């Protein structure tokens, strides 16, 4: 009887060791996947061409929207060229899908690209962007980078109707043909959003 017990003990001991190790391995794998997980993995790329998809991923990896001049040396970053290329080459349908992309940088560029289309409903797009108070991205210009909401970026840099910041150079302004009442409505909503910007940021990054 003693011999039988001795023979069983190593098996019980092995199980006692293997189970915790297996559990740790599974937990470690889950932790790795959760930390490495990117929301874009679940994005539906259907009807978006491979070249557009590849550019979107490069834009997301860089992580910022930039002006044409960045850094102390005042160089034009590749991200600026990618943004221009995407807005020029993506179709309206592709850009419309990308405003639901899980990256503020990509969403901001998609909105800008749609607004720059000649026949787009600019009032509707800006109004929609201003009502998104949960999406922020980093905007870089010169040596400065700051978090911005999409609507804030559009009103200050694309269709400059802000009464809080100086407008960009005239050659960078696009024709928007908004009525005075539409501009007044958008400006009012923009000011409301800017007044609560810090509050929105605290909710997201608390």
Residue 136: strand pairing partners: 149
Alpha carbons within 13 angstroms on the beta-carbon side of residue 4 total 1
8 and 32 fall within a common domain: yes
% pLDDT > 90, the chain: 65
- Tell me: do 79 and 132 sit in the same domain: yes
Which of 68, 115, 113 lies closest to 88, judged by CA? 113
Residues 116 and 167 occupy one common structural domain? yes
- Confidence class for position 30, pLDDT limits 50, 70, 90: very low
Q: What is the pLDDT of residue 176?
A: 86
- Using DSSP's 3-state secondary structure scheme, residue 122 falls into helix
Q: In what order do the strands lie in the sheet with 136-142?
A: 64-70, 136-142, 144-149
> Which structural domain, as residue segments, surrounds residue 3?
1-37
Q: pLDDT category, 201, cuts 50, 70, 90?
A: very high
Residue 164 · residue 113 · CB < 8 Å: no
Q: What is the pLDDT at residue 171?
A: 66
Are residues 24 and 111 located together in one domain of the fold?
no
Q: In terms of domains, do 83 and 175 share one?
A: yes
**Among 80, 131, 123, 76, CA closest to 105:** 80
Q: From CA 123, how far away is CA 71, in angstroms rounded?
A: 33
Give the total number of structural domains in the chain: 2
The pLDDT value given to residue 27: 43
Dihedral, CA atoms, 27, 28, 32, 33, nearest 10 degrees? -30
Asked if 29 and 112 sit in the same domain, the reply is: no
């Amino acid at each position: 009887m003693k011999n039988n017990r001795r023979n069983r003990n190593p098996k019980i001991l092995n199980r006692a060791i293997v189970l915790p190790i297996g559990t740790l391995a599974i937990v470690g794998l889950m932790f790795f996947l959760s930390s490495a997980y990117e929301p874009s993995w679940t994005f539906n790329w259907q009807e978006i061409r491979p070249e557009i998809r590849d550019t979107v991923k490069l834009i997301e990896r860089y992580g910022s929207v930039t002006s044409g001049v960045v850094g102390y040396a005042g160089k034009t970053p590749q991200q600026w060229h990618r943004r221009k290329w995407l807005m020029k080459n993506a179709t309206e349908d592709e850009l419309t899908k990308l405003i639901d992309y899980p990256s503020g940088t990509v969403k901001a560029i998609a909105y800008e690209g749609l607004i720059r289309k000649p026949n787009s409903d600019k009032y509707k797009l800006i109004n929609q962007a201003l009502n998104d108070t949960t999406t922020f991205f980093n905007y870089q210009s010169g040596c400065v980078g700051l978090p911005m909401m999409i609507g804030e970026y559009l009103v200050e840099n694309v269709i400059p109707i802000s009464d809080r910041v100086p407008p960009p150079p005239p050659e960078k302004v696009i024709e928007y043909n908004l009525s005075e009442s539409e501009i007044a409505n958008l400006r009012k909503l923009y000011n409301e959003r800017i007044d609560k910007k810090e509050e929105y940021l605290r909710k997201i990054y608390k």
